[in-house]
Amino acid sequence: MSEQGTGALKSIGSVTSTATDQAFEILYNAVVSLELPPGTKVSEIEVAKQLGVSRQPIRDAFFRLSKLGFLLMRPQRATLISKISEEAVLRAAFVRTALEVECGREAAVRAAPADLADLDLLIAQQEKAVAAGALWDFHDLDDQFHRRICAMAGQEHAWAVIQEQKGHMDRVRFLSLSFGKQDAVTGHRAIASALANRDPVQVEAEIRAHLGQIRAILAKIRDAQQSYFDDAED
């Protein structure tokens, strides 16, 4: 089990969101990006000190993370970043695929030329991020691409539901960026092409193929990082 601490989390700035929301976002991103790997010990006191806030916002952020399945909080024992649950990843993939397929089919009917141009621009930016090795930028642009399709369908609320579910997928996706970025871009190009052709059936097929890669990615990551998974020995 990892004995790492919280490292150098960035401090909370003076913006309009609450301290709890900011702490949650910082910690969530650190978990997803593996800055805080599975099995890492975290403490309210240490995190509060690093972020420059009182313990209450951190306690609230910890609770939110635990409800999402990212923190293991046990009385009188260390709080740990949860290990990756294969079941949780596949469950999230099921929900995400169901929603994005419907959004994609609707977007194929509703898409305006400006929408398609936006997707092309995002793909071009993804290519630049791949070339630069900018993993977090690519991850963010990936999300923007999928969110844009939900918006094109007039169903942006679907993205809010997807966001609540996809965190477990995101840890695996982030680990896969060392070898799978170009495959993701290729999948995005295929989806964008089907949308440009206004072909709902092809859009569905491309989205299913793209998101369905998570199973193969999961197996590859599991082989490489067995200690990150919840059935590994401590």
Q: Is the pLDDT of residue 163 over 70?
A: yes
- Please give the CATH topology (third level) of the domain spanning 19-81: Arc Repressor Mutant, subunit A (1.10.10)
- Identity of residue 103: C
Arithmetic mean of pLDDT, 155-170: 92
Check pLDDT > 90 for residue 156.
yes
Query: Degrees (nearest 5) of the Cα angle 101, 102, 103?
Result: 90
What is the mean predicted confidence (pLDDT) over 3-25?
68
105 CB neighbour count, 10 Å cutoff: 16
On average, the pLDDT of the chain sits at 91
Q: What is the predicted pLDDT for the residue at 14?
A: 45
Query: Which pLDDT score, from 0 to 100, does residue 16 have?
Result: 44
Is residue 1 over pLDDT 60?
no
Lowest mean pLDDT, pick from 4-8, 87-91, 175-179, 193-197: 4-8
Domain parsing of the chain, residue ranges: 19-81, 86-228
Q: From the CA atom positions of the chain, what is the Rg in Å?
A: 19
- Options 3.30.465.10, 1.20.120.140, 1.10.540.10, 1.20.120.530; CATH for 86-228 is 1.20.120.530
Decide: helix, strand or coil at residue 11. Answer: coil
DSSP 84: B
Mean pLDDT of 95-103: 97
Euclidean distance between CA atoms 45 and 25, whole angstroms: 18
